[in-house]
Amino acid sequence: MTKAERYRRCEEGYQLELARSASYIASCITEESTSRCIDEVLRGFVRDRGAEDLPVFRQVLADRLQARRCVSAAKLVIEWKAVARTDIAANSSAGSVSALTFSPARSVRRALRT
Length of the chain: 114
Buried b (16+ CB within 10 A) or exposed e, 38-49: bbebbbebbbee
Confidence of residue 81 (pLDDT cuts 50, 70, 90): low
Across 60-70, average pLDDT: 97
Judge whether 73 and 26 are in contact, CB under 8 Å: yes
Judge whether 101 and 84 are in contact, CB under 8 Å: yes
The Cα 95–Cα 98 span in angstroms is 9
pLDDT digits over 10-39, tens only? Answer: 999 999 999 999 999 999 999 999 999 999
Q: What is the pLDDT of residue 69?
A: 96
Judge whether 84 and 102 are in contact, CB under 8 Å: yes
